[in-house]
Amino acid sequence: MVFKKLLGAFGVGGPSVDTVLSNSNTRPGLTLDGQIHILGGDHDVKIDQVALGLVTRVEVESGDANYDSTVEFHRIAVAGAFPLGKGERKEIPFSFPVPWEAPVTDVYGQRLRGMTMGLRTELAVARAVDKGDLDPVQVHPLPAQERILDAFNRLGFRFKSADLERGRIYGVNQQLPFYQEIEFFPPPQYAGGINEVELTFVADQQGVEVILEFDKRGGFLSSGHDAYGRFRVEHATVDQTDWASVVDGWVRSASDRYSSLRATHGFHGGQRGHGRGGMGAGAVIAGAGAGILGGMVLGEAMDDVFDGGGDFGDFGE
């Protein structure tokens, strides 16, 4: 993809920038490669900096209101200060590292509804900055993420939507100030026990944290009580696992746990009091399959697990 925009902040006849990606498709932990083409205008200028940033839309909760904010979440400078003469052409090659936690935007060659991602070029001249336009980017899942998503699909789960929410997940070594939720409706064999599944991935160089929430928007228990599962999958073991069986076990464990608590405690059951410092409260259900570590607890309000706090830069539209 190519974008080109006259930098109006520098006035008529200012420099223009044209960024070309070799391939707009990537995965977490890989790179986006390309070249930035800069063309001088009708007078000499000094370029202070050329930078690239990944931007996306994040849902922000503020009081009783929710709104979407365009956020730059990863940025690198690809060139420092240099003079640009009248009509001069300059090419800057780059290799932009994609964070391991970058959210997935495309699966099976199709965009996940609700997701957007772009690489933005910023050219700064004499302290004047124009953000420029976005070059669309497609982030495809890592093998572990792909196997798990495929397992949900094979088991009959129907994709609902995906979004990014500001905040951090309790107990997870999370680098970005937001997390992705991929939401599914369950097939009939699970529908009696759960109403909805929300899947979150937090990847790093060694593996992927898999976080599951069940019935976040209501269910058998009193308001704010959900089943919460967290599992660790190592990249090296991803091909040693029957993922359909593992995911089926995760979901049935949540469903059975709900049924048991419903029968024992009615609508007021569940473990309380674990707060932010005791995720071990509640029944722990071990993960199944090679290279999978983790368990499931019945949580108190999910604000204790998915913390909506944390600040990040808002770069506007």
* Whether pTM exceeds 0.75: yes
Q: Which helix (H) or strand (E) holds 262?
A: helix 243-265
Q: Which residue has the tokens 């097939």?
A: 187
Q: How far, in Å, CA of 43 to CA of 223, rounded?
A: 64
Summarised one tens digit per residue, pLDDT across range 255-313 is 666 556 555 544 433 332 323 223 332 333 334 444 555 554 443 333 344 344 333 23
Angle at 206 between CA 201 and CA 209, to 5 degrees: 25
Map 117-180 to HEC letters. EEEEEEEEECCEEECCCEEECEECCCHHHHHHHHHHHHCCCEEEEEEEEECEECCCCCCCCEEE
User: CATH code for 6-140?
Assistant: 2.60.40.640
Summarised one tens digit per residue, pLDDT across range 166-195 is 999 988 999 999 999 999 999 988 876 778
Dihedrals phi, psi of 189, to nearest 5 degrees: -65, -15
| Burial of 206 (C-beta count, 10 Å sphere; 0-12/13-18/19+) | exposed
Instruction: Give the start-to-end residue ranges of the domains of the chain.
Output: 6-140, 143-265
Dihedrals phi, psi of 290, to nearest 5 degrees: -65, 135
The SS3 assignment for 182 reads strand
Q: Which residue has the tokens 């409260």?
A: 281
Identify the residue with better confidence: 238 or 309.
238
C-alpha Rg value of the chain to the nearest Å:
23
- What's residue 93's pLDDT? 97
Identify the residue with better confidence: 132 or 152.
152
Q: How far, in Å, CA of 18 to CA of 22, rounded?
A: 13
Chain length of the chain: 317
DSSP 219: -
Whole-number mean pLDDT of the chain?
A: 77
